[in-house]
Amino acid sequence: MLCRIGDVEIWRILEINAPYLPAKDLFPYVPNVAELIAAHDPGAICPTSGGLILPIQGFLLNTPSHLILVDACVGNHKTNRYPPWSGRNDSRFMASLAAAGATPSDVDYVLCTHLHTDHVGWNTKLEDGRWVPTFPNARYLLPDADNSVFSKMASDSYTESVLPVIAAGKSEMVTPGHQLGDYVTLIDTPGHTPGHVSVLVKSGAAEAIITGDALHTSAQCWHPDWHFTYDTDPEQAVNSRLALLEAASEADRRVLGTHFTLPSIGRVKANGDVFRWEEDN
Ligand SMILES: [Zn+2]
């Protein structure tokens, strides 16, 4: 188990832990960004490729009432413009789910923080040449504002990983503020995508926030104004990031950084006008 928040167990469902694109391509307007990231998070830059280490993971929330998967990673057999994510055939995601004591049929909800390719992949699997829901008993919760935009673009990712769960009648479009049972609330963090949500877990006095892609590296706690190249509205993303960090520090929430280097869990502390990241030991 990654951590316990009151009555809720949170398990890491890790699919990939590898270097992604170079930091200078991900934050193109930030001079010496790789050095700045490395100063805060020494293991974050791959010494051979210069790529930012970007874990691809979901989180499984085992609440007293529901089993909820937050984010569905890249998936197998998918079409993807980024070669390492294309046509994968890998067992790590499913092994991780099994290690958490769950099978795909146990999952009650799959919640996508947004509809990018590395958050929707395992929504579906290829069966006899057709994309079918991987989690046969789950409702799939998809941000409404993302679906409005992504359905018009009809990308491979949408066609392979989102449309089939809608066609199967298993989806529900959700908006920020949506509550899922007694423990989980969707927090409005637009900017990376129009409908992006982060996920607040609350049980008694204990609270945790799953960032999704409101941040991509813990270095953004010190530098919340950095523009990430795939943020669709970078200024809106900065405002969302600041609000998330402020609330997390005020309420002393555990923070689970979806793409932060492992262990991807810690706390955010106010640090002058910005914040600092304190990783759990
Ligand atoms: Zn992502």
- How far apart are alpha carbons 107 and 84 in whole angstroms? 27
Distance 54 CA to ligand 1 centre (A): 9
**CA of residue 141 to ligand 1 center, whole Å:** 17
Residue 6 Cα to ligand 1 middle (Å): 27
Give the distance (Å) from ligand 1 centre to CA of residue 196.
11
C-alpha distances in Å from residue 133, one per residue of 72, 111, 158, 227: 12, 13, 13, 34
Whole-number Å distance, alpha carbon 56 to ligand 1 midpoint, is: 7
CA of residue 58 to ligand 1 center, whole Å? 10
Q: Please tell me the distance between residue 46's alpha carbon and the centre of ligand 1 in angstroms.
A: 18
Write down the pLDDT at residue 154: 85
> Who surrounds ion ligand 1 at CB < 5 A?
118, 213
Task: Tell me how far the alpha carbon of residue 213 lies from the centroid of ligand 1, in angstroms.
Answer: 5
Q: In whole angstroms, how far apart are CA 192 and each of 30, 111, 115, 239?
A: 17, 17, 10, 11
CA of 13 to the centre of ligand 1 (A): 14
CA 233 to centroid of ligand 1, rounded, Å: 15
* pTM of model > 0.95: yes
Q: Supply the CATH classification number for the domain 3-279.
A: 3.60.15.10
Ligand 1 geometric centre to CA of 204 (Å): 30
| pLDDT score at 281 | 79
Q: Who's near 20: CB < 8 A, 6+ residues apart?
A: 26, 51, 52, 53, 54
Q: What is the mean pLDDT of each run of 10 residues along the chain (281 residues)?
A: 98 98 97 97 94 98 98 98 97 98 98 98 98 98 98 96 98 98 98 98 98 98 98 98 98 98 98 95 79
Compute the distance from residue 101 Cα to the ligand 1 centre, in Å: 25
Which residues lie below 8 Å from residue 79, measured CB to CB, with a gap of 6+?
Answer: 86, 87, 156, 157, 160
Domain boundaries, the chain: 3-279
Dist. CA 79 → ligand 1 center (Å): 16
pLDDT at position 259, please? 98
Q: How far is the CA of 57 from the centre of ligand 1 (A)?
A: 9
For 191: left if phi > 0, alpha if psi spans -120 to 50, otherwise beta; the answer is left
